[in-house]
Amino acid sequence: MAGGGAVVVIGGSSGLGRAVAEHYAGAGREVVISCRDDERGAAVAAEIGGRTRNVTLDLAQPTGIAAALADVGPVDHLVISAIDRDQNTVRDYNIERAINLATLKLVGYTEVIHALVDRLTDDSSIVLFGGLAKDRPYPGSTTVSTVNGGVVGMVVTLATELAPIRINAIHPGIVGDSPFWKDKPLDHILARTPTKRLVQMADIVDGVRFLLENRSVNAIDLRVDGGWMIM
């Protein structure tokens, strides 16, 4: 049920976050996206259209987040989809990259919620983006798997602290038509997916919408992977 507040999509200037922003802008909602680059963010907001605007912030620089969000009004739904990819092993460990990703996803995500909490209502909802590396690590996923596991802990803790505000996480599989994956060979993923189709961006948007809008769904981690994890 829509209230009078905005839909805020942190990371809504590209990829899956942009697809979520486009969905809600198309439904006539006020949408606030974020981008690290002011000029690019403004251009994307104009492309999305409707009542969409940009705020400029960097989740890996959390001390600036509150000021960047200062003029955001009441918030009905908050989606934090911004990600970074870090290929980092213990034997060849890049501390700077690890700190950047851990700060972005754990401290940055939490600081966004902290900055906006007084603009949420009892009927507001939050969705965090995690990832399946938490369950299926791979060589080089040391930091990625750790921070996505951290998102699971954040959901449980914040659902307790913020009640009755609802908070959930979505953990996408490999999204075949997303900008990152669409030009890569994915036949080996398709062969291990029981649905015999790759996850699509529209599937992730539908999962986010479900988590945001179903008022009895709270503190869950939703995998959207076509059943890939059971194979």
pLDDT over 70, % of the chain: 99
pLDDT band at residue 2, thresholds of 50, 70 and 90?
Answer: low
pLDDT digits (tens, 9 = 90+) for 101-111: 999 999 999 99
Residue 141 DSSP one-character state: B
pLDDT at 176: 94
pLDDT at 105: 95
Answer yes or no: is pLDDT of 72 > 80. Answer: yes
Q: What is the mean predicted confidence (pLDDT) over 213-222?
A: 98
pLDDT at 83: 84
CB 135 within 8 A of CB 229: yes
pLDDT digits (tens, 9 = 90+) for 177-194: 999 899 899 999 999 999
Answer yes or no: is pLDDT of 149 > 90. Answer: yes
Whole-angstrom Cα distance, residue 112 to residue 117?
8
Cis bond upstream, residue 137 (ω within 30) = no
pLDDT band at residue 86, thresholds of 50, 70 and 90?
Answer: confident
pLDDT digits (tens, 9 = 90+) for 106-133: 999 999 999 999 999 999 999 999 999 8
Q: What is the mean predicted confidence (pLDDT) over 56-76?
A: 98
Q: What is the mean predicted confidence (pLDDT) over 14-28?
A: 97
Q: What is the mean predicted confidence (pLDDT) over 52-73?
A: 98
- Mean pLDDT across the chain, nearest whole number? 95
Residue with tokens 């259209």, as numbered in its chain: 49
Query: What does pTM read for this prediction?
Result: 0.95
pLDDT at 109: 98
Answer yes or no: is pLDDT of 1 > 60. Answer: no
- Output 83 or 200, whichever has higher pLDDT: 200
∠173-221-122 over CA atoms, to 5°? 130
- For residue 5, the SS3 value is coil
Indicate the class that CATH gives domain 6-230. Answer: alpha beta
